[in-house]
Amino acid sequence: MWGSRMALRRLQKIAVAPLSIKEGIASNVQREMSTLQRVYVTRQIPPEGLKILKESGQVQFELWDSDDVPVSRAELLKKVKGVDGLLCVLTEKIDAELLDAAGPNLKVLSTMSVGFDHLSLDELKKRGIRVGYTPEVLTDAVAELTVALLLTTSRRLVEATHEAKTGGWGTWRTLWLCGHELANSTVGILGLGRIGVAIAERLAPFKVKKFIYTDVAPRPELAKAINAEYVSFDELAKQSDFLAVCCALTPETKEICNKELFSKMKNTSIFINTSRGGVVNQEDLYEALAAGQIAGAGLDVTVPEPLPTNHPLFTLKNCVILPHIASASYTTRNAMSALAANNLLLGLRGEPMIKELKL
């Protein structure tokens, strides 16, 4: 569906105009449509973003009109041909092949995500394509879900509801379904950014004793807000009762959470990942959980996504797996959609985007 509301309004006017005027307007509309910038949207994004694109009068866009099935690679390669702008989500790999298929008209890529590991930044930079993304608007939702996942994992809520529903609930027992509490604990954050700070702010009222973090370098401004101490990667592993992964997936962080890390953690520790599955070596995590080297893991992200239902991690009682829903609140997804649309329109006008990646 190529569309713009202004063009549509004019077309609606045509329907009531006398024939000769109708023809005149029709050719104007055609002329105008051909001057609108062409955009492909790879997903049926939430309504706020679509409304912005439709009402802009700036672009004619075609949409992959489904949220349940992603656009196939073959279809995507066909649809991007000649577009000026592309609005994608995190399931689309934007690489040299795709950018070649799009061709030299492509000036702006806008991803409806804070993560950008699905984008070949070098290839985008080489072609002078500007990139918009959607940080900040999802911080609250992601932090909230991280806290929910942490408590679900540490207090064994999935096991508990299963036992209650399936007859495992006998008499009140003194150590049955005991977990680990946040009070007096040390919470470690791997990769301190806005989301890590927002998680710590939410956890502090649970009487956490200490926040520690590691990153490529200390981040005193952010750390000050939550009174967090900068430690080495090793110390993070050793001291954390709860370890929350908040770093971006980059070549440097790929599988940074592996057997070396897990072997240094306490056997009472809880590992939580709401960033990207690729930062974890899942075989090593499975071994650590199965052997009781760590107490539990809560994962919102995996490799691949969806994780096949016969994956060994699903067999473990001490592993809680969610289907990548950290930012999934109506408010946040609409805000991400709107920001992605606005980034795209601004970029196509040659203006600074609201949130633009520095390439």
Ligand X SMILES: O=C(O)C(=O)CO
| 312 touching ligand X, by CB under 6 A | no
Size of the residue set binding ligand X (CB under 6 A)? 7
Distances (CA, A) of 116 to 69, 237, 275, 285: 21, 26, 11, 24
Cβ–Cβ under 8 Å, residues 337 and 48? yes
| 90 touching ligand X, by CB under 6 A | yes
6 φψ region: left (φ > 0), alpha (ψ -120 to 50), beta (else): alpha
| 299 touching ligand X, by CB under 6 A | no
Q: Which of 118, 162, 311, 324 is catalytic?
A: 324
Cβ–Cβ under 8 Å, residues 88 and 112? yes
| 70 touching ligand X, by CB under 6 A | no
Tell me the closest approach of the beta carbon of residue 138 to ligand X, in angstroms: 5
Q: Hey, which residues between 205 and 224 contact ligand X (CB under 6 A)?
A: none
In the residue annotation, 324 being an active-site residue is answered as yes
| 42 touching ligand X, by CB under 6 A | no
Structure token pair of residue 292: 């009781």
CB atoms within 10 A of CB 273: 25
Angle between helices 330-348 and 139-154 (to 10 degrees): 140
In which order are the strands placed within the sheet that holds 270-273? 228-230, 210-214, 186-190, 242-245, 270-273, 296-299, 319-321
The residue (of 179 and 196) whose beta carbon lies closer to ligand X is 196
Stretch that binds ligand X, among 67-75, 109-117, 176-184, 209-217 (CB under 6 A): 109-117
- Candidates 33, 27, 26, 31; CA nearest to 4 is 33
| 340 touching ligand X, by CB under 6 A | no
Tell me the closest approach of the beta carbon of residue 327 to ligand X, in angstroms: 3
User: Residues 72, 341, 34, CA angle at the centre, nearest 5°?
Assistant: 80
Secondary structure class of 88 (helix, strand, coil): strand
Distances (CA, A) of 61 to 33, 40, 50, 235: 11, 6, 10, 51
The residue (of 114 and 270) whose beta carbon lies closer to ligand X is 114
The residue (of 140 and 159) whose beta carbon lies closer to ligand X is 140
Among 7, 41, 52, 114, binds ligand X (CB under 6 A): 114
Among 36, 41, 129, 138, binds ligand X (CB under 6 A): 138
Tell me the closest approach of the beta carbon of residue 115 to ligand X, in angstroms: 3
Among 70, 115, 218, 312, binds ligand X (CB under 6 A): 115
The residue (of 23 and 136) whose beta carbon lies closer to ligand X is 136
| 273 touching ligand X, by CB under 6 A | no
Tell me the closest approach of the beta carbon of residue 14 to ligand X, in angstroms: 41
Structure token pair of residue 284: 């090593």
Tell me the closest approach of the beta carbon of residue 41 to ligand X, in angstroms: 16
Tell me the closest approach of the beta carbon of residue 145 to ligand X, in angstroms: 10
Structure token pair of residue 14: 């045509």
Question: Would you name the residues annotated as active-site residues?
Answer: 324
Residues that bind ligand X (CB under 6 A): 90, 113-115, 138, 326-327
